[in-house]
Every structure is written in C-alpha cells, then in structure tokens.
Chains A and B, each alone.
Chain A
C-alpha cells in the first residue's frame, strides 16, 4: 500500500484490538479524519461493503425527512480484524438494515467512523479499528 511499512504496531489500546491485528490498523490515526466531538448514530440500508485493507468501508442509504435517500460511508477496521469478529460479506449483505454508532468526518461530508454496528439480526459488533478512536463507552453519547 501507499504507506511505508515501518509503522508502529502492537500497541493495543483499550482492548479494542487483538494482538494479531495487522499493522495496517495504524495506517492513519482516527483523529486525522474523524471528530470525537461529533458522535453520530444512523440507521440505513447497506448498499456496499468494501472489505479492503487497510480500512474496510460500509456504505448505506439513510432515509431523509423528505423521503429521499442519502448515501453515507463509514470506515471499519481491517478485513482480518472484522473476520475475527465474525464479519464477512455474508454478514452485511446489500439491502440489509443496520444501525451505526460512530463519529462524523472532520470535513463535514457524508462520511464517518463506525465504532459499533448493529446488524440486521440484532448482533452488535465493534467494527472500528483505529488505535486512538474513542472507546465503546463513548457510544452512550451518540444521538
């Protein structure tokens, strides 16, 4: 990938990451892109799941008050870390309904960082992978 392979790995913060998490997690810091002061909670319908290193992305259509749909993108952890939590392509099929709790992007666009994802079967999964992301305890603030 496009970063040098000299990134510091192995620092596990808040138990969010397992020891086998690849160094790709450190690809960029949470705080470089996302705003810990702007928690967000959205319910939507999955349009695409990209299981891409170093960060996976989930895209969902969120219904607006006027009835139209707006497509949001949320950053997830690396594919391998998701797989360890039981998340594969089959867990988030296109068309399924999910709820995301996380934080908005600093640039104000329709992107965010997913800390927790509630799947259509009710399962709640920690989907974020950044080492400096606010922990699960921050979810209570999400609106």
Chain B
C-alpha cells in the first residue's frame, strides 16, 4: 500500500503540470495585455492622472548610505551609485552634508525642485490633459506644469524653482526636458546639490496600471564631470478617499507673521 507521504501520484503530477501551464498562460496573457490596460487619454497617450509616491529612501540620500541619526539606510537610486562631482563641487557637497540640519532647503520650506519633488516622501498628484500635465506637490503645495503641446523652452527665461518643462512622447514614454532652474534647491537631505546650469531629462513610463517607473538624467557642467542617471518606482495611492493635504510644517513658526498685519510694528 502506498503511503500518502511517499510522493505525488501520477495524477497529482498531471494536475500540477496542468495548473502550471494555466498559470504560465495567464501570466503571458497578462503581460501581453499590460500595454492596452494602462490608463489612457482620449488621444491614446498614457494617462498619469492620480496620486503618486515613492517608497524609496532616496530623499535622505541619493547615494548608498547606512543608517544615521537623521536617515534610515538606503541602497541609493543612482546608476553607478555615486555622483560624478567635480573636485571643488565635492568639497561643497561635503560642507552641505555637514551642515544639512540648517542648510537643507526643504527644512526652510523651499520648493523642492526637480527631481527631488518626485521622490520626496510625500504624495503628489498629477492632472493630465492632452496639452499638459499639472503636478501638485503636497509639500509646500508647489505646482509644476509639464507642457505636451510641442512648444519649446521660452527665449527669455526666469530662474525657476521647478525649471521649465517641455515634453514629448516616445511610444508610451513621456520624455520631459527641464531647464532654467535657480541654484537654491538640493537633490536630497544629504547635501547633494546643483547650480543654475542644471538640466534634467525625465522619462515617465507605466510598469502596470498602478506603478510608474521614473527615470532622470541629470547634467550640470558647473558641478558634475558627466551626466548621471537615477530611477525610482512610483506607486499609485489607492486608499479610499485619499487626498493631498497641504504641508507647510516648516513655516509654522511664521504663522503669526502672515498674512502681514500693516499696523503691527
């Protein structure tokens, strides 16, 4: 008599094989259908509308780092792991790092900039139309427009906190050219920084209907010896009734002073 523990019967093996084949079929079918299943605008372009957030520890430090008092550990999100600083810029970065508790622009409530706003650990919302995407960040309630109307950067630019964003589609990937920044933002809490010559090229693409891969190529000839790449995964917030709540926690100390009271000395 066969013991039940002696191993699978031929019937069981057949069943396992069959279910395996079914799973394989389902998986393949899924992959084939992934493209059409992502949300799309009426014009067929991917629709990134929704509330997104990364789970990465990138904002603490883009580069690999162990835990420290003000940051959980992180493997970093930079291709090649470390930023290719020019020698003088590396010295500045070290100074920034040493004084990050007071110098980090985010702690002053400054607009986060690009790409920091994307991987800052707070949600942001995208509203999308054929001609543009509007990104609203919970932190500081800053608003960024990405133009998809085939217009080019302006000829008489300002030094914007979020740069000037002009995009085009490469298949289902949104490619955004961003420049004309000021030099008042950082890439992270660890003092990684840039000059006003910053130029960012972003690539946004769906992995599945609720997950987006965000990649950015960063160049800044005043600070880095060559362009470098980063990438993070963005997850869609699907909690019931989830919404942005504006976050001005770093300016709470000034609440009494705003709006200004003209008769107050």
Whether B248 lies near A4 (C-beta < 8 A) is yes
Nearest 10 pairs between A and B by C-beta? A2-B109, A51-B158, A79-B158, A88-B156, A52-B182, A52-B159, A51-B159, A29-B260, A7-B259, A2-B251
Query: How far is A129 from B248 in the complex, measured between Cα atoms in Å?
Result: 25
Whether B110 lies near A2 (C-beta < 8 A) is yes
Whether A3 lies near B141 (C-beta < 8 A) is no
The verdict on B242 contacting chain A, using a C-beta distance below 8 Å, is: no
Taking Cβ atoms with an 8 Å cutoff, the residues of B that contact A are 108-111, 140-142, 156-161, 182, 184, 196, 248, 250-251, 254, 257-260, 262
A53 to chain B, nearest CB (A): 7
A1 and B111 in contact, given A51-B158, A52-B161, A83-B156 (Cβ under 8 angstroms): yes
Residue of B nearest to A9 (CB): B259
Taking Cβ atoms with an 8 Å cutoff, the residues of A that contact B are 1-8, 26, 28-29, 32, 50-53, 79, 83, 88-90, 132
Q: A2-B108, A2-B140, A8-B259 are in contact. List 8 more A-B contacts (CB 8 A).
A: A1-B142, A2-B110, A4-B248, A29-B260, A32-B257, A52-B161, A88-B156, A132-B262
Q: Which residues of A contact B184 (CB under 8 A)?
A: 52
Residue of A nearest to B111 (CB): A1
Whether B158 lies near A52 (C-beta < 8 A) is yes
Whether B250 lies near A53 (C-beta < 8 A) is no
A31 to chain B, nearest CB (A): 9
Whether B161 lies near A53 (C-beta < 8 A) is yes
Q: Which residues of A contact B110 (CB under 8 A)?
A: 1-2
Residue of B nearest to A50 (CB): B159
Query: How far is A2 from B142 in the complex, measured between Cα atoms in Å?
Result: 9
Residue of B nearest to A48 (CB): B196
Query: How far is A32 from B158 in the complex, measured between Cα atoms in Å?
Result: 25
Q: Which residues of A contact B161 (CB under 8 A)?
A: 1, 52-53
> Which residue in A5, A29, A52, A89 is a CB contact (below 8 Å) of B141?
A5
Query: How far is A1 from B259 in the complex, measured between Cα atoms in Å?
Result: 14
Whether B140 lies near A4 (C-beta < 8 A) is no
Query: How far is A6 from B262 in the complex, measured between Cα atoms in Å?
Result: 15
A23 to chain B, nearest CB (A): 10
Query: How far is A131 from B46 in the complex, measured between Cα atoms in Å?
Result: 45
Whether B182 lies near A1 (C-beta < 8 A) is no
Query: How far is A88 from B156 in the complex, measured between Cα atoms in Å?
Result: 7
A117 to chain B, nearest CB (A): 17
Query: How far is A2 from B258 in the complex, measured between Cα atoms in Å?
Result: 11
B185 to chain A, nearest CB (A): 11
Query: How far is A90 from B141 in the complex, measured between Cα atoms in Å?
Result: 31
Q: Which residues of B contact A4 (CB under 8 A)?
A: 248, 251, 258-259
Q: Which residues of B contact A7 (CB under 8 A)?
A: 258-260
Interface centre among B142, B158, B182, B258 (most CB of A within 10 A): B158
Whether B157 lies near A89 (C-beta < 8 A) is yes
Query: How far is A7 from B156 in the complex, measured between Cα atoms in Å?
Result: 28
Residue of B nearest to A89 (CB): B156
Whether B258 lies near A3 (C-beta < 8 A) is yes
Query: How far is A132 from B263 in the complex, measured between Cα atoms in Å?
Result: 12
Q: Could you name 21 residue pairs across A and B whose Cβ atoms are closer than 8 Å?
A: A1-B111, A1-B140, A2-B109, A2-B110, A2-B250, A3-B251, A3-B258, A4-B258, A6-B259, A7-B260, A8-B259, A26-B260, A32-B257, A32-B260, A50-B196, A51-B158, A52-B160, A53-B161, A89-B157, A90-B156, A132-B262
B116 to chain A, nearest CB (A): 15
Query: How far is A107 from B259 in the complex, measured between Cα atoms in Å?
Result: 23
A50 and B182 in contact, given A1-B161, A2-B108 (Cβ under 8 angstroms): yes
A27 to chain B, nearest CB (A): 9
